[in-house]
Protein backbone atom coordinates (compact mmCIF):
# COMPACT_ATOMS: atom_id res chain seq x y z
CA UNK A 1 0.00 0.00 0.00
CA UNK A 2 1.61 3.30 -1.03
CA UNK A 3 1.31 6.54 0.91
CA UNK A 4 -0.05 9.61 -0.89
CA UNK A 5 2.64 12.19 -1.65
CA UNK A 6 2.88 15.02 0.86
CA UNK A 7 1.82 17.70 -1.65
CA UNK A 8 -1.70 16.28 -1.82
CA UNK A 9 -3.90 18.62 0.26
CA UNK A 10 -7.57 19.33 0.82
CA UNK A 11 -9.06 22.83 0.26
CA UNK A 12 -9.11 24.36 3.74
CA UNK A 13 -11.08 27.45 2.69
CA UNK A 14 -13.84 25.33 1.14
CA UNK A 15 -14.03 23.17 4.27
CA UNK A 16 -14.32 26.22 6.49
CA UNK A 17 -17.02 27.78 4.26
CA UNK A 18 -19.04 24.56 4.46
CA UNK A 19 -18.81 24.53 8.27
CA UNK A 20 -19.98 28.15 8.40
CA UNK A 21 -22.87 27.44 5.99
CA UNK A 22 -24.03 24.49 8.11
CA UNK A 23 -23.79 26.66 11.25
CA UNK A 24 -26.45 28.99 9.81
CA UNK A 25 -28.98 26.17 10.27
CA UNK A 26 -30.38 25.82 13.77
CA UNK A 27 -28.59 28.81 15.28
CA UNK A 28 -28.19 28.86 19.04
CA UNK A 29 -28.64 31.88 21.27
CA UNK A 30 -24.95 32.66 21.80
CA UNK A 31 -23.19 32.08 18.48
CA UNK A 32 -23.33 28.28 18.45
CA UNK A 33 -26.01 25.84 17.35
CA UNK A 34 -29.17 24.14 18.52
CA UNK A 35 -29.68 21.54 15.80
CA UNK A 36 -30.85 18.67 17.96
CA UNK A 37 -31.54 15.35 16.36
CA UNK A 38 -34.81 14.83 14.44
CA UNK A 39 -35.88 18.47 14.75
CA UNK A 40 -36.86 20.62 11.78
CA UNK A 41 -33.37 22.15 11.95
CA UNK A 42 -31.83 18.68 11.71
CA UNK A 43 -33.96 18.02 8.61
CA UNK A 44 -32.76 21.30 7.08
CA UNK A 45 -29.13 20.45 7.83
CA UNK A 46 -29.58 17.01 6.28
CA UNK A 47 -31.12 18.55 3.15
CA UNK A 48 -28.15 20.88 2.72
CA UNK A 49 -25.74 17.99 3.21
CA UNK A 50 -27.68 15.94 0.62
CA UNK A 51 -27.42 18.80 -1.91
CA UNK A 52 -23.66 18.90 -1.37
CA UNK A 53 -23.41 15.12 -1.75
CA UNK A 54 -25.45 15.22 -4.97
CA UNK A 55 -23.23 17.98 -6.37
CA UNK A 56 -20.16 15.86 -5.58
CA UNK A 57 -21.64 12.96 -7.56
CA UNK A 58 -22.17 10.74 -4.51
CA UNK A 59 -24.92 8.13 -4.25
CA UNK A 60 -26.99 8.49 -1.10
CA UNK A 61 -28.37 5.60 0.94
CA UNK A 62 -30.42 6.11 4.12
CA UNK A 63 -31.00 3.38 6.67
CA UNK A 64 -33.99 2.77 8.93
CA UNK A 65 -32.33 4.85 11.67
CA UNK A 66 -31.95 7.82 9.31
CA UNK A 67 -28.18 7.52 9.00
CA UNK A 68 -26.98 8.97 5.70
CA UNK A 69 -24.35 7.10 3.64
CA UNK A 70 -23.05 9.00 0.59
CA UNK A 71 -20.85 6.82 -1.62
CA UNK A 72 -18.09 7.77 -4.04
CA UNK A 73 -17.68 4.71 -6.19
CA UNK A 74 -14.40 2.79 -6.26
CA UNK A 75 -12.79 1.01 -9.19
CA UNK A 76 -13.10 -2.46 -7.69
CA UNK A 77 -16.75 -3.50 -7.51
CA UNK A 78 -15.91 -6.26 -5.01
CA UNK A 79 -13.87 -4.12 -2.58
CA UNK A 80 -15.42 -3.16 0.77
CA UNK A 81 -15.69 0.62 1.24
CA UNK A 82 -13.84 2.94 3.58
CA UNK A 83 -16.38 4.80 5.74
CA UNK A 84 -15.61 8.33 6.94
CA UNK A 85 -18.01 10.37 9.03
CA UNK A 86 -19.40 11.79 12.24
CA UNK A 87 -22.64 13.62 13.08
CA UNK A 88 -24.53 16.82 12.18
CA UNK A 89 -26.79 16.89 15.26
CA UNK A 90 -25.83 19.16 18.16
CA UNK A 91 -26.43 19.69 21.85
CA UNK A 92 -29.16 22.23 22.76
CA UNK A 93 -26.36 24.71 23.43
CA UNK A 94 -23.85 23.13 21.08
CA UNK A 95 -20.90 24.44 19.11
CA UNK A 96 -20.38 24.69 15.37
CA UNK A 97 -17.73 21.97 15.12
CA UNK A 98 -18.59 19.00 17.34
CA UNK A 99 -19.51 16.35 14.76
CA UNK A 100 -19.84 18.81 11.87
CA UNK A 101 -16.09 18.94 11.28
CA UNK A 102 -16.05 15.16 10.84
CA UNK A 103 -18.92 14.98 8.35
CA UNK A 104 -17.83 17.98 6.30
CA UNK A 105 -14.17 16.94 6.57
CA UNK A 106 -15.19 13.63 4.99
CA UNK A 107 -17.11 15.50 2.28
CA UNK A 108 -14.01 17.64 1.67
CA UNK A 109 -11.97 14.47 1.17
CA UNK A 110 -14.19 13.36 -1.71
CA UNK A 111 -14.49 16.88 -3.12
CA UNK A 112 -10.69 17.02 -3.26
CA UNK A 113 -10.49 13.62 -4.93
CA UNK A 114 -12.97 14.86 -7.52
CA UNK A 115 -10.93 18.03 -8.13
CA UNK A 116 -7.74 16.07 -8.56
CA UNK A 117 -9.37 13.34 -10.65
CA UNK A 118 -8.03 10.70 -8.26
CA UNK A 119 -9.70 7.31 -8.41
CA UNK A 120 -9.54 4.82 -5.57
CA UNK A 121 -9.83 1.05 -5.56
CA UNK A 122 -12.27 1.06 -2.65
CA UNK A 123 -15.45 3.15 -2.50
CA UNK A 124 -15.45 5.95 0.08
CA UNK A 125 -18.67 6.51 2.04
CA UNK A 126 -19.27 9.87 3.69
CA UNK A 127 -21.47 9.20 6.72
CA UNK A 128 -23.80 11.29 8.89
CA UNK A 129 -24.91 9.19 11.89
CA UNK A 130 -28.29 9.99 13.47
CA UNK A 131 -28.44 11.11 17.12
CA UNK A 132 -24.83 11.03 18.20
CA UNK A 133 -25.46 13.52 20.97
CA UNK A 134 -28.11 11.72 22.97
CA UNK A 135 -29.31 15.10 24.23
CA UNK A 136 -32.89 14.72 23.05
CA UNK A 137 -33.07 10.91 23.08
CA UNK A 138 -30.74 8.85 25.32
CA UNK A 139 -28.39 7.14 24.77
CA UNK A 140 -25.77 8.96 22.73
CA UNK A 141 -24.48 7.33 19.52
CA UNK A 142 -27.85 5.69 19.11
CA UNK A 143 -27.84 4.96 15.37
CA UNK A 144 -24.24 3.74 15.28
CA UNK A 145 -25.10 1.53 18.28
CA UNK A 146 -27.96 -0.05 16.33
CA UNK A 147 -25.69 -0.35 13.29
CA UNK A 148 -23.12 -2.23 15.39
CA UNK A 149 -25.80 -4.56 16.73
CA UNK A 150 -25.44 -3.51 20.37
CA UNK A 151 -28.71 -1.56 20.57
CA UNK A 152 -32.01 -2.96 19.36
CA UNK A 153 -33.66 -0.92 16.58
CA UNK A 154 -37.12 -1.05 18.12
CA UNK A 155 -35.73 -0.05 21.52
CA UNK A 156 -34.23 2.97 19.73
CA UNK A 157 -37.57 3.79 18.06
CA UNK A 158 -39.24 3.75 21.48
CA UNK A 159 -36.88 6.20 23.18
CA UNK A 160 -38.70 9.39 24.16
CA UNK A 161 -37.66 13.02 24.37
CA UNK A 162 -38.52 15.24 27.37
CA UNK A 163 -41.94 15.98 25.75
CA UNK A 164 -42.69 12.26 25.40
CA UNK A 165 -42.23 12.20 21.61
CA UNK A 166 -40.91 8.87 20.30
CA UNK A 167 -37.70 8.65 18.29
CA UNK A 168 -39.37 6.48 15.62
CA UNK A 169 -42.25 8.94 15.17
CA UNK A 170 -39.95 11.94 14.96
CA UNK A 171 -37.73 10.17 12.41
CA UNK A 172 -40.76 9.61 10.21
CA UNK A 173 -42.08 13.12 10.80
CA UNK A 174 -38.91 14.77 9.47
CA UNK A 175 -38.93 12.41 6.46
CA UNK A 176 -35.60 10.67 7.06
CA UNK A 177 -36.62 7.12 7.88
CA UNK A 178 -34.85 5.19 5.13
CA UNK A 179 -35.38 1.72 3.72
CA UNK A 180 -32.00 0.15 4.34
CA UNK A 181 -31.71 -2.49 7.03
CA UNK A 182 -29.54 -1.06 9.80
CA UNK A 183 -26.08 -2.64 9.97
CA UNK A 184 -26.40 -4.50 6.66
CA UNK A 185 -23.42 -2.61 5.23
CA UNK A 186 -19.91 -4.03 5.61
CA UNK A 187 -16.98 -1.71 6.21
CA UNK A 188 -13.34 -2.22 5.31
CA UNK A 189 -12.43 0.55 7.77
CA UNK A 190 -13.98 3.54 9.56
CA UNK A 191 -12.32 6.93 10.15
CA UNK A 192 -13.71 9.87 12.14
CA UNK A 193 -12.29 13.39 12.37
CA UNK A 194 -13.37 15.30 15.49
CA UNK A 195 -12.40 18.25 17.65
CA UNK A 196 -10.68 17.11 20.84
CA UNK A 197 -13.33 18.59 23.18
CA UNK A 198 -10.61 18.75 25.82
CA UNK A 199 -7.56 20.90 26.62
CA UNK A 200 -4.56 18.64 25.97
CA UNK A 201 -3.60 19.38 22.34
CA UNK A 202 -3.90 23.15 22.69
CA UNK A 203 -1.99 23.21 25.99
CA UNK A 204 0.88 21.23 24.44
CA UNK A 205 0.80 23.15 21.15
CA UNK A 206 0.14 19.97 19.11
CA UNK A 207 -1.77 20.20 15.86
CA UNK A 208 -2.98 16.61 15.62
CA UNK A 209 -4.33 14.06 18.09
CA UNK A 210 -3.71 10.46 17.05
CA UNK A 211 -6.54 8.71 18.86
CA UNK A 212 -5.50 5.34 20.25
CA UNK A 213 -8.39 4.67 22.70
CA UNK A 214 -11.73 6.00 23.88
CA UNK A 215 -12.79 5.86 27.49
CA UNK A 216 -15.88 3.82 28.37
CA UNK A 217 -19.00 5.18 30.03
CA UNK A 218 -22.13 4.43 31.98
CA UNK A 219 -25.18 6.69 32.02
CA UNK A 220 -27.29 5.77 35.06
CA UNK A 221 -30.79 7.24 35.23
CA UNK A 222 -31.98 7.56 38.83
CA UNK A 223 -35.66 7.90 39.70
CA UNK A 224 -36.09 8.96 43.33
CA UNK A 225 -39.52 8.86 44.89
CA UNK A 226 -40.38 11.03 47.90
CA UNK A 227 -43.62 12.66 48.96
CA UNK A 228 -44.92 15.93 47.56
CA UNK A 229 -45.66 18.25 50.45
CA UNK A 230 -45.89 21.94 51.31
CA UNK A 231 -42.41 23.49 51.75
CA UNK A 232 -43.72 25.87 54.41
CA UNK A 233 -46.01 23.88 56.61
CA UNK A 234 -44.37 20.43 56.57
CA UNK A 235 -42.12 19.99 59.65
CA UNK A 236 -38.55 19.00 58.78
CA UNK A 237 -38.91 15.63 60.48
CA UNK A 238 -41.96 14.73 58.38
CA UNK A 239 -40.38 15.33 54.98
CA UNK A 240 -39.61 12.58 52.48
CA UNK A 241 -37.43 14.78 50.32
CA UNK A 242 -36.36 13.28 47.00
CA UNK A 243 -34.54 16.53 46.18
CA UNK A 244 -32.31 16.24 49.21
CA UNK A 245 -31.46 12.64 48.29
CA UNK A 246 -30.56 13.82 44.77
CA UNK A 247 -28.23 16.50 46.20
CA UNK A 248 -26.46 13.98 48.45
CA UNK A 249 -26.05 11.53 45.56
CA UNK A 250 -24.61 14.29 43.37
CA UNK A 251 -22.05 15.11 46.07
CA UNK A 252 -21.28 11.40 46.44
CA UNK A 253 -20.69 11.00 42.66
CA UNK A 254 -18.17 13.83 42.82
CA UNK A 255 -16.40 12.13 45.74
CA UNK A 256 -16.33 8.73 44.02
CA UNK A 257 -14.86 10.28 40.86
CA UNK A 258 -12.23 12.20 42.85
CA UNK A 259 -11.27 9.08 44.77
CA UNK A 260 -10.94 7.17 41.48
CA UNK A 261 -8.24 9.44 40.04
CA UNK A 262 -6.43 9.37 37.70
CA UNK A 263 -8.42 8.62 34.54
CA UNK A 264 -11.96 8.84 35.87
CA UNK A 265 -14.73 11.44 35.67
CA UNK A 266 -18.27 11.62 36.97
CA UNK A 267 -21.06 14.17 37.09
CA UNK A 268 -24.74 14.95 36.65
CA UNK A 269 -25.89 16.89 33.60
CA UNK A 270 -29.66 16.57 33.74
CA UNK A 271 -32.13 16.82 36.62
CA UNK A 272 -35.92 16.85 36.43
CA UNK A 273 -37.86 17.79 39.56
CA UNK A 274 -41.54 16.95 39.80
CA UNK A 275 -43.69 19.00 40.04
CA UNK A 276 -40.88 21.60 39.95
CA UNK A 277 -42.77 24.22 41.90
CA UNK A 278 -41.11 26.62 44.34
CA UNK A 279 -43.24 25.67 47.31
CA UNK A 280 -43.65 21.93 46.80
CA UNK A 281 -41.11 19.39 48.05
CA UNK A 282 -40.41 17.23 45.00
CA UNK A 283 -42.24 13.92 45.00
CA UNK A 284 -40.11 12.62 42.18
CA UNK A 285 -36.63 13.49 40.90
CA UNK A 286 -35.17 11.95 37.76
CA UNK A 287 -31.52 12.62 36.96
CA UNK A 288 -28.66 11.06 35.02
CA UNK A 289 -25.21 10.26 36.34
CA UNK A 290 -22.48 10.15 33.65
CA UNK A 291 -19.30 8.29 34.67
CA UNK A 292 -16.35 7.53 32.42
CA UNK A 293 -12.92 5.91 32.50
CA UNK A 294 -10.55 4.25 30.02
CA UNK A 295 -10.08 1.49 32.64
CA UNK A 296 -12.82 -1.14 32.51
CA UNK A 297 -12.36 -2.33 36.10
CA UNK A 298 -12.39 1.19 37.44
CA UNK A 299 -15.48 2.12 35.42
CA UNK A 300 -17.49 -0.86 36.60
CA UNK A 301 -16.21 -0.40 40.17
CA UNK A 302 -17.41 3.22 40.18
CA UNK A 303 -20.81 2.15 38.95
CA UNK A 304 -21.18 -0.51 41.67
CA UNK A 305 -20.06 1.91 44.38
CA UNK A 306 -22.39 4.70 43.21
CA UNK A 307 -25.41 2.38 43.12
CA UNK A 308 -24.58 0.98 46.57
CA UNK A 309 -24.01 4.36 48.20
CA UNK A 310 -27.09 5.89 46.53
CA UNK A 311 -29.25 3.09 47.91
CA UNK A 312 -27.90 3.79 51.40
CA UNK A 313 -28.49 7.56 51.08
CA UNK A 314 -32.08 7.02 49.95
CA UNK A 315 -32.80 4.42 52.62
CA UNK A 316 -31.65 6.90 55.27
CA UNK A 317 -34.16 9.48 54.02
CA UNK A 318 -37.02 7.06 53.36
CA UNK A 319 -36.82 7.86 49.65
CA UNK A 320 -37.43 5.22 46.96
CA UNK A 321 -34.51 4.67 44.57
CA UNK A 322 -34.62 3.00 41.14
CA UNK A 323 -31.67 2.96 38.72
CA UNK A 324 -31.81 2.26 34.99
CA UNK A 325 -28.66 2.18 32.82
CA UNK A 326 -29.58 4.30 29.75
CA UNK A 327 -26.20 4.43 28.04
CA UNK A 328 -23.07 2.33 28.05
CA UNK A 329 -19.99 1.36 26.18
CA UNK A 330 -16.81 -0.35 27.25
CA UNK A 331 -13.44 1.39 26.78
CA UNK A 332 -12.34 1.08 23.14
CA UNK A 333 -8.93 0.28 21.66
CA UNK A 334 -8.74 1.58 18.10
CA UNK A 335 -7.21 -0.52 15.29
CA UNK A 336 -3.40 -0.26 15.62
CA UNK A 337 -2.80 -0.39 11.85
CA UNK A 338 -5.14 2.54 11.22
CA UNK A 339 -3.76 4.47 14.19
CA UNK A 340 -0.28 4.01 12.71
CA UNK A 341 -1.57 5.26 9.37
CA UNK A 342 -2.93 8.43 10.99
CA UNK A 343 0.33 8.96 12.86
CA UNK A 344 2.30 8.36 9.65
CA UNK A 345 0.17 10.89 7.76
CA UNK A 346 0.74 13.57 10.44
CA UNK A 347 4.46 12.81 10.33
CA UNK A 348 4.66 12.96 6.52
CA UNK A 349 2.76 16.25 6.42
CA UNK A 350 5.09 17.76 9.02
CA UNK A 351 2.43 18.42 11.67
CA UNK A 352 3.10 18.20 15.40
CA UNK A 353 1.13 15.35 16.97
CA UNK A 354 0.68 13.16 20.00
CA UNK A 355 -1.26 10.05 20.89
CA UNK A 356 -4.44 10.77 22.80
CA UNK A 357 -7.35 8.99 24.51
CA UNK A 358 -10.78 10.36 23.61
CA UNK A 359 -12.65 11.62 26.65
CA UNK A 360 -15.93 11.96 24.74
CA UNK A 361 -17.89 9.16 23.13
CA UNK A 362 -18.02 8.97 19.35
CA UNK A 363 -19.72 6.92 16.64
CA UNK A 364 -16.25 5.50 15.98
CA UNK A 365 -16.60 3.64 19.30
CA UNK A 366 -19.50 1.58 17.95
CA UNK A 367 -18.05 1.34 14.44
CA UNK A 368 -14.99 -0.23 16.08
CA UNK A 369 -17.21 -3.20 16.99
CA UNK A 370 -17.78 -4.07 13.34
CA UNK A 371 -14.67 -2.82 11.53
CA UNK A 372 -11.14 -1.56 12.13
CA UNK A 373 -11.67 2.06 13.19
CA UNK A 374 -9.83 5.11 14.41
CA UNK A 375 -10.06 8.87 14.75
CA UNK A 376 -8.12 12.07 14.05
CA UNK A 377 -8.44 15.02 16.41
CA UNK A 378 -7.66 18.71 16.20
CA UNK A 379 -7.34 21.07 19.19
CA UNK A 380 -10.19 23.28 20.36
CA UNK A 381 -9.82 26.62 22.12
CA UNK A 382 -9.59 26.27 25.93
CA UNK A 383 -10.73 22.65 25.53
CA UNK A 384 -14.28 23.97 25.55
CA UNK A 385 -17.07 21.91 23.95
CA UNK A 386 -20.80 21.27 24.49
CA UNK A 387 -20.90 25.04 24.77
CA UNK A 388 -21.93 27.59 22.15
CA UNK A 389 -18.54 29.26 22.56
CA UNK A 390 -16.76 26.14 21.22
CA UNK A 391 -14.05 27.37 18.81
CA UNK A 392 -11.30 26.04 16.54
CA UNK A 393 -9.08 27.77 13.99
CA UNK A 394 -9.34 27.27 10.21
CA UNK A 395 -5.69 26.18 10.27
CA UNK A 396 -6.35 23.42 12.82
CA UNK A 397 -9.36 22.20 10.81
CA UNK A 398 -7.37 22.19 7.57
CA UNK A 399 -4.41 20.29 8.99
CA UNK A 400 -6.56 17.66 10.67
CA UNK A 401 -8.59 17.22 7.46
CA UNK A 402 -5.33 16.76 5.55
CA UNK A 403 -4.35 13.97 7.93
CA UNK A 404 -7.79 12.41 7.48
CA UNK A 405 -7.42 12.75 3.69
CA UNK A 406 -4.07 10.98 3.66
CA UNK A 407 -5.11 8.18 6.01
CA UNK A 408 -8.33 7.56 4.06
CA UNK A 409 -6.56 7.69 0.70
CA UNK A 410 -3.92 5.23 1.81
CA UNK A 411 -6.68 2.89 3.00
CA UNK A 412 -8.90 3.31 -0.07
CA UNK A 413 -5.85 2.87 -2.33
CA UNK A 414 -5.12 5.24 -5.21
CA UNK A 415 -5.57 3.66 -8.62
CA UNK A 416 -2.66 4.73 -10.78
C1 LIG B 1 -21.13 12.40 23.27
O2 LIG B 1 -21.12 13.53 22.80
C3 LIG B 1 -20.64 12.14 24.62
O4 LIG B 1 -21.44 12.28 25.56
O5 LIG B 1 -19.43 11.88 24.78
MN1 LIG C 1 -19.37 14.72 18.67
MN1 LIG D 1 -21.11 16.17 21.42
- Tens digit of each residue's pLDDT (9 = 90 or more) over 206-260: 999 999 999 999 999 999 999 999 999 999 999 999 999 999 999 999 999 999 9
141 CA: nearest ligand 1 atom: 1
CA dist 24 and 27 (Å) reads 6
pLDDT for the residue 5: 86
> What's the mean pLDDT in 14-32?
98
pLDDT for the residue 1: 61
- What is the CB < 6 Å shell around ligand 1? 133, 140, 360-361
Closest CA to 82 of 335, 389, 382: 335
Query: What's the 51 CA to ligand 2 centre distance in angstroms?
Result: 22
pLDDT for the residue 4: 85
**Quick check: 306 pLDDT over 80?**
yes
Question: If DSSP codes are grouped into helix, strand and coil, which group holds residue 95?
Answer: coil
290 CA: nearest ligand 1 atom: 4
pLDDT for the residue 175: 98
**Quick check: 3 pLDDT over 90?**
no
Neighbours of ion ligand 2 (CB under 5 A): 98-99
> What's the mean pLDDT in 61-80?
98
Return the residue whose CA atom lies nearest to atom 2 of ligand 1: 133
What would the pLDDT profile of 181-212 be if each residue is shown by its tens digit? 999 999 999 999 999 999 999 999 999 999 99
3-state helix, strand, coil in the chain (%, to 5): 35, 25, 40
Q: Do 283 and 275 meet the contact criterion of CB atoms below 8 Å apart? A: yes
Query: Which ligand is closest in space to the CA of residue 385?
Result: 3
Q: Do 10 and 107 meet the contact criterion of CB atoms below 8 Å apart? A: no
What would the pLDDT profile of 103-162 be if each residue is shown by its tens digit? 999 999 999 999 999 999 999 999 999 999 999 999 999 999 999 999 999 999 999 999
140 CA: nearest ligand 1 atom: 1
Question: If DSSP codes are grouped into helix, strand and coil, which group holds residue 400?
Answer: helix
Return the residue whose CA atom lies nearest to atom 1 of ligand 1: 361
Amino acid sequence: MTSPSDNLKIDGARLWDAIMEMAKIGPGVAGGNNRQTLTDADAEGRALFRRWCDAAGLTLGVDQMGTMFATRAGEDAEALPVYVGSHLDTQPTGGKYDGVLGVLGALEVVRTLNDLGIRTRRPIVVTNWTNEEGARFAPAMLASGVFAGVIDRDYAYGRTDPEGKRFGDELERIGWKGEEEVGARRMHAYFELHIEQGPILEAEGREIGVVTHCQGLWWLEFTLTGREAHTGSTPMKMRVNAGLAMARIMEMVQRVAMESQPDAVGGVGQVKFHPNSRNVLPGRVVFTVDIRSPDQGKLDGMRARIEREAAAICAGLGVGCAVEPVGHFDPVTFAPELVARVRGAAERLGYSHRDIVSGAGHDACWAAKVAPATMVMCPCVDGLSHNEAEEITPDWAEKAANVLFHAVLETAEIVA
